Amino acid sequence: MISEIDTYAGLSSPIHRWDPRLKVISILALIFSIMLLYDLKLVIASMLFAIILVYISRIPFSFIAGRLKWVFLFVLPFLIILPFTVIGEGVVIAHFGSITLNFRGIESVEFAVMIVIKALTSVMLIFPMIGTSRMDITIKALEDLHLPNKLVQMLAFTYRYIFVLSNEFMLMERSLTSRGFKRGSNLYTITTLSKAIATLFVMSYEQAERVFYAMRSKGYSGKVTTMHEFTLRPQDWLCTVVVCGFAIFIQVAVWYGTLEGT
């Protein structure tokens, strides 16, 4: 059984072999760099770079597309609303009483497209970042990067118990189905499932208490430390230079463009 988050962690690619600590830092730097961009051409270039990274990582595009679809649905309103709301002179399209609908021109469409591409690119980069190492290794990498211990513990416990809870919920659903429950678009379904989820919360609370007892029995006093060994090789630095180099390049390009503009 492989958890969905680790589905493609077992593949072999330069991204998979990249030291997880440098991978997390470099790709995060790239994501931040992309988020700071306000130039459509550079955003498109970044998206192409992200697609190349995904291609190298050998994670199937269909797998990523299936998840990006939800992100796209979330950012879709920007495409529709932004062209009518960005500040500036616009062409009046219609009047609804005291409300006027203005279209702000092709620049505002570009702006909306840029935001959507930025969002999709950032989410796309998450896949080579955490989908190419097993989650437990990524968690250890974060611990090694001195991420606050409380956050590391939260991530580790979420990863460990999400499967236990989803399994419990699956058992609960089976039990409901075996007693004639059918999902539908009605109040009964909502109340039944809410009760099941509420029970799951109570169960998880009780389990959390038992786990805490077990941790204290093993000498836990607030900090979780694990043993891990990461070794850096020249290839790791090469990948880091390429990805961080691109993150710096797009910022330099923006800076250079601003200079030329003045």
Shortest gap between Cβ of 140 and another protein (angstroms)?
Answer: 8
How many Å apart are CA 53 and CA 57, to the nearest integer?
6
Shortest gap between Cβ of 14 and another protein (angstroms)?
Answer: 22
How many Å apart are CA 194 and CA 172, to the nearest integer?
12
Residue 219 engages another protein in binding (rule: CB under 8 A): yes
Query: Between residues 230 and 256, which has the closer beta carbon with respect to another protein?
Result: 230
How many Å apart are CA 103 and CA 98, to the nearest integer?
16
- Number of residues forming the site for another protein (CB under 8 A): 29
Shortest gap between Cβ of 216 and another protein (angstroms)?
Answer: 5
Q: How many angstroms separate the first and last alpha carbons of the chain?
A: 59
Taking CB under 8 A as the criterion, which residues in 115-154 touch another protein? 135-136, 139-140
Residue 48 engages another protein in binding (rule: CB under 8 A): no
Task: Label residue 222 exposed, middle or buried (CB < 10 Å: 0-12, 13-18, 19+).
Answer: exposed
- The pair of structure tokens assigned to 210 is 């038992």
Shortest gap between Cβ of 203 and another protein (angstroms)?
Answer: 12
Residue 202 engages another protein in binding (rule: CB under 8 A): no
Residue where the block lists tokens 């070794």: 231
Residue 258 engages another protein in binding (rule: CB under 8 A): no
Backbone phi, then psi, for 98, in 5-degree steps? -90, -5
Contact residues: another protein, CB under 8 A = 1, 3, 135-136, 139-140, 156-157, 159-161, 163-164, 207, 210-211, 213-221, 224-227
